[in-house]
Every structure is written in structure tokens, then in C-alpha cells.
Amino acid sequence: MTSFPPICYLNSNDGSGYIAAGQGPSFTLCSIEELPLLDQFLISHRGKYIFGYLSYALQSHITQSAYVGVQRLPLAYFWVCPEVGEIVSDELTLVQGSDYKLLEDLYSQLRTAEALTLPEFTPSLSQAEYLARIDTIKSLIQRGDLYETNFCFNYTLNDLNLRDPFSLYQRVNERTKAPFSALLCLDHIWLACGSPERFLKKTGNTLISQPIKGTAPRHQDPSLDASSKTALLNSPKERSENVMIVDLVRNDLSKIALSGTVNVEELFGIYSFPTVHQMISTVSCKMDQCLPFSEILKATFPMGSMTGAPKRNALRFMNSMEPFTRELYSGSVGYFTPEGDFDFNVVIRSLEYYPKERLLQCGVGSAITIEADAAQEYEECQLKIERLIH
């Protein structure tokens, strides 16, 4: 396996983004008790761009217990990249460091790599097993333990020796063209992410979250495609799922918001991507700019769209029912600006490669409510990742 410098590429697929590379000062979060140390790290490097990830296992601050399952990754990892380039209108400008050629070469490789061809993945659940677990979840909803939850499973490829992260990323990005696309390349993880969803963005004293709930297929026939889009907008089931998560996000933000500032800026927005239409809402609030990042995380992470309501129960039940350990899937990748603002995605529609284990995995899930049809939920999961794993 070829060695690569630490890399983070954030691609909005509209000609803008960031590319960061090189080893700099870093912070590894290994326990919830160390969250104040993360705040100290961010404060000590204010004035620099900082990139990194949040693992789904960071949910343990909500459940008050260790996340079950084998954890390959730390709870979070952030580093000050010595070289950072900003991309505007497909033009690269150095904004941190001095090695423009390094970033230019990486950017060229990212844009010209051939998409990776992969063999067949193995699911962690058969269709029959999946249907049975959805029935169990609906019984929990029926008795009042849950209102809505996000149930996930995964697909894997074992003993896979990948040459480079660029062809892996190209495979994902060619098929998704998503606004929160990311490549993360570290010693212990290569993440190729085609996410359409933003977790949380801070600009000044404003926070916004943009949860996705509601999916419909794209069609080549324009009339069929328009009908699919309209059906998504008018679906009582999809609107119910979306508004439940919007309410959850409103509640999360209210814990840290200045009084009276939580606002739903857009409800049931329909956005189109290469393979799916999605229902996306936007919730915002104002906050005290001195609030530590750890306090923001404690109020909002994991994101509502990947958990459910009530959040604590959704986490507890899904931890015991899902057939795999979520790592970066359902976590987040993003960056801090020199001014202390930040932007983080939701890691979905992604391939995670663990170089030391030669393991590639792809997680997928959907929202389950009392109205969910198990067979349709299974088909929705296939729709979301079909082009990633086939």
C-alpha cells in the first residue's frame, strides 16, 4: 500500500471547496472526558484552518455509556493542515502554508483519477432478516418507546488491497455529485463520501442545520421524474418523518440558542441529485459566540436525521439491533476557519476503507415510523447506495 500524507478534500461539486494536506499539530479524542481538551486545542490554534472528523461513537455523551461494538477509530480527530487551498470557480488558491505544488498535484490527481471498479459486496443482513427487524422496531413504536428511528445495516468487502484513495473517491463522486462530498485520507481510514446533507454550520453567531428525511428515485423520463418529485413533496409519510426530525433539531438547538432565535427557515424543501430527490429542511438559531464547540456537540450530536426521536431511546435501541458498528458512517467530516466558524457534513452515501484491515464497508439506513412498509424501506436503502456498491 502506498503511503499518502494526511489529506482532506471538501468538494461542493459547484466549483468550490477546500483541499488540505500534510501533517501538523493534531488532537485525538479517545474519551468523552477529554472533550474540554478538544476545546483547548481549537482555541490554541485559532487563526488556522483545522480539518477532521467526528465518529458516530461520540454519541456516548448522550447515552451515558460506551458505544457497543468494535471501534476502529478514535471518537474524533482534528489536525492543523500545514497546506490548505481554497477552490473557487475550479481555481485553486493557497490560503495556508507555502507548498502550492503539493496541493496542485493532489487536486489534479483527484480530478483525473479513474473511478475504481469493485467486486460484489456482502450484506450484513439478508432481505428477510431486514424485514424482521423492521417489524420489531415497529412493535417498539407501537408500545411508545420510539416515535421514529433510523435503522442501518452495511455492506462489506474483505481482503481488498486498494492502491490509492483517489480512485475510491472518484467512484463515489462520479455517482453522487453531492454538495457535501469529502475525501479523508489518514493512516487508519480512507473515507470517500458523497453526502447530500449538512449537519451543522456556524457563521458568526448563527448556526444552521439541514436534516434530510424523505427520498424518491430519479427517472430519465422528465415527466416521470417530475411526478416522483411531486409525490415526494406531497407524501404524508415522508412529511411526517421530516417534521419529526425538524422538531428534534429545533429542540437540540434550543439547548444552546439565544432565547427566541430558533427558526425553521425552510420546511419540506425538495432537492434533486443524480440518483434521488431528497426532502431537506433548514433550521437555524443565534448563539453566544463564546460557547465552546464541545457544548455545541453535546446539544446536537449525533444529528437527528441519523438517530430518531426520542434521541436517547433511538440510540439505545438501534445500538442493540444494528448488525454492525457505525464508525464514520453517521458521523461527520468538516473544518474550522481561522475565524472560528465551521461547517460539517453528515457522513452518508460513503465508502469507508480501513487500509490495515483491507476492509471496505458501506453503511445505509432509513427512517422507520409506525407507517413504514418494511419492503419499501428495504428498497429505499437499495436506491440510496445502488450506484456505490454495484
Query: Tell me: the pLDDT tens digits for 217-245?
Result: 999 999 999 999 999 999 999 999 999 99
* Cell numbers linked to 363: 453503511
Catalytic one of 48, 138, 202, 213: 213
pTM: 0.97
| Domain ranges across the chain | 7-389
Half-sphere exposure of 214 (CA within 13 A, CB side): 32
By residue count, the chain amounts to 390
Q: Tell me how far the alpha carbon of residue 14 is from its chain's centroid.
A: 19
Peptide bond into 310 cis (omega under 30): yes
The yes-or-no answer on residue 48 being catalytic is no
> For 47, left (φ over 0), alpha (ψ -120 to 50), or beta?
left
Distance CA 82, CA 73 (A): 23
| pLDDT value of position 66 | 76
| Dihedral (Cα; 55, 57, 60, 61), 10-degree rounding | 0
Query: 350-360 in b/e burial notation, b at 16+ Cβ within 10 A?
Result: bbbbbbeeeeb
Q: What is the pLDDT of residues 105-122, one digit of tens each?
A: 999 999 999 999 999 999
- Given a contact cutoff of 8 angstroms between Cβ atoms, the answer to whether 252 and 286 are in contact is no
> 213 catalytic, yes or no?
yes
What was the pLDDT predicted at 254? 98
Quote the pLDDT of residue 299.
97
Helix (H) or strand (E) holding 268: strand 263-272
- Rounded to a whole number, what is the distance in angstroms from the first to the last CA of the chain? 24
Residue with cell 481510514: 189
Contact 267/310 with Cβ under 8 angstroms? Answer: no
In the prediction, which pLDDT does 138 show? Answer: 98
pLDDT less than 70: residues of the chain: 1-2
Q: Which fold has domain 7-389?
A: Anthranilate synthase (3.60.120)
CA 19/CA 109 separation, integer angstroms: 12
Q: Quick one: pLDDT at residue 105?
A: 96
Residues 197, 241, 322, 380: which is the catalytic one? 197
> Which amino acid is present at 94?
L
Q: Residues 257-284: pLDDT tens digits?
A: 999 999 999 999 999 999 999 999 999 9
In angstroms, the CA 247 to CA 251 distance is 6
